Amino acid sequence: MDFAFMAEAFPQIVGAIPITLLMVFVSAAIGWVLGLLFALVRRADVQFFSQAVAVFISFMRSVPSVILLYISYYVMPAVIYFYGQNIGIEINVSGIPAVVYAIAALTLNQAAYASEVFRSAIAAVDEGQFEASYSIGMNKTQALQKVILPQAMATAMPNLGGLFIMLIKDTSLAYYVGVYEITATANLLSMPTLNFIEAYIMTTVIYEVLSFVFNQMFRAEENHLKRFRAVLAAQV
Amino acid sequence: MEYMVQIDHIHKSFGDNHVLQGVSMNIKKGEVVVILGPSGSGKTTLLRTINFLDAADEGSITVNEARVDAQKHSKAQVLELRKKTAMVFQNYNLFANMTILQNVMEGLVTVRKFKKSDAEKMSMEILDKVGLSEKYHCYPSQLSGGQQQRAGIARALILDPDVILFDEPTSALDPELVGEVLNTIKAVAQTGITMIVVTHEIAFAKEVASRVVFMEGGVVVEEGKPGEILVNPKEPRTQQFLSRITGGINQKSA
């Protein structure tokens, strides 16, 4: 073990945590909102949109994340460039940082998985809750907002927590398109002296700690959301 | 205005099953109508077509001048109709994510746009009336079935509806809890509010109903004062049903 290398490299790898978390937070925030919208569109059975969403989800779930990332990174710039030309604007696509393409790919990936989580969580809410809402004169939006979604979120929370942890790990794929996040930084630092084992031990520890912290946060939120249920709390 | 609730030639099918085959009924303000009938007779479905939880295929429903035609209506009309009615469910259907107090307040705050403080005060008063003063801040899952159903009645009452629809309100309760809920419903009936009650509680019907309707096979077989229908039914189908449910006690005493 090259402890001198570890002591020197560790702060730099830790320094890459913010870029990893940036990808995680932005992708989860946008992806989950999209996912919820997709779930509601499918539930409402809106003509054309429901089918389009179903196809999108099935496509997203069958393509490996890394391929999605490559498509985003190599195809999107060309699309954006030609679209810009079409409407008469010269867009400097090489000026867009790689992390944007990584976030785009991760966001769509999250949207697809989160929509399935939300769909099953909404379906798990008893139909009688809708009926009671309607019986006191609520419209559909009020029923969803006040009664159905608060209950569905409690059901969705464990799966969202799982998605979130997967997302943290998936950000390491951004390495392939040149984003200097945790894995990329560790790998590059280890190359000159071939200290790969040390580098991977350090990244493992960092991912473990991140997962642990966010896992605890999701458990706490889960317990808060399902306080109305007469069952035991999840172990924190 | 003559009638509070007008049910006009309602038809309803689920697939090939023609559940309601042209049911009509006019109900005056303050009447307590109890609907009896064997299971599958369409009585619960009829109740659910009144507030359009099940949309009828044909016919129309009018509650205090809000008329909804089954074949031609807007969402706004259905919403208007629902705002004039309230329902008490067999399985209580309290909002699981809200406390008892929030359950009762919800309609006032979200639908009627009351101020929260006013809604809270009114809700507490009504919860006191149904004997749930100690339970304001409990969640439904922490209450017994009887307590949940009384909260369900409070949730319906607070909206001051033109008619309250009771869908087998005691059928899911443990036998020893039926009494407390029936007493609450009796107290509600005495306030002069219009009620339509689907139930199997014959004794309750006798005591509270101003009219008893016997349904079978998707039609009204017979209706009249509880003294007539329950003691001296004319139709053989009503006689059969009552003798099955009471073990023939009524026939002997009649």
**CB-based contact A132 B93, cutoff 8 Å:** yes
Percent of chain A clearing pLDDT 70 (strictly above): 97
- Segment A183-226, tens digit of pLDDT: 999 999 999 999 999 999 999 999 999 999 999 999 999 999 98
Q: How far is A150 from chain B (nearest CA, A)?
A: 7
B74 in contact with chain A, both atoms CB, cutoff 8 A: no
Which candidate, B57, B62, B95, places its Cα nearest to that of B78?
B62
Mean pLDDT of chain B: 92
Cα A114-A116-A118 angle, rounded to 5 deg: 70
Taking CA atoms, what residue in B is nearest to A229? B141
**Mean pLDDT value across residues B71-93:** 95
Q: Which CATH architecture has domain A3-235?
A: Orthogonal Bundle (1.10)
At residue B156, does pLDDT exceed 50? yes
* Cβ neighbour number for residue A232 with a 10 Å cutoff: 7
pLDDT of residue B214: 95
What value of ipTM does the predicted structure carry?
A: 0.92
Report chain B residues whose CB lies below 8 A from the CB of A155.
Answer: none
> What does the domain layout of chain A look like in residue ranges?
3-235
Report chain A residues whose CB lies below 8 A from the CB of B82.
Answer: 134-137
Q: For A128, which of B89, B106, B110 is closest by C-beta distance?
A: B89
Residue A96 to residue A177: CA distance in whole angstroms: 13
Residue A196 to residue B23: CA distance in whole angstroms: 80
**CB-based contact A132 B51, cutoff 8 Å:** no
CB B144 within 8 A of CB B105: no
At residue A122, does pLDDT exceed 90? yes
Question: Which strands make up the sheet holding B58-63, listed edge to edge?
Answer: B17-27, B5-14, B58-63, B66-69
- Segment B180-216, tens digit of pLDDT: 999 999 999 999 999 999 998 898 999 999 999 999 9
Q: For B89, which of A132, A229, A230 is closest by C-beta distance?
A: A132
The structure tokens 């890459």 sit at A16
Taking each helix axis from N to C terminus, what angle separates A17-44 and A149-170, rounded to the nearest 10 degrees? Answer: 140
The structure tokens 């009828």 sit at B56
Mean pLDDT of chain A: 93
Helices (H) and strands (E) in chain A, counts: 11, 0
At residue B253, does pLDDT exceed 50? no
* Cβ neighbour number for residue B62 with a 10 Å cutoff: 20
pLDDT of residue B254: 38
* Phi, psi angle pair for B40, to nearest 5°: 90, 5
**CB-based contact A134 B155, cutoff 8 Å:** no
Report chain A residues whose CB lies below 8 A from the CB of B107.
Answer: 136-138
Q: Which two tokens stand for residue B52?
A: 């359009």
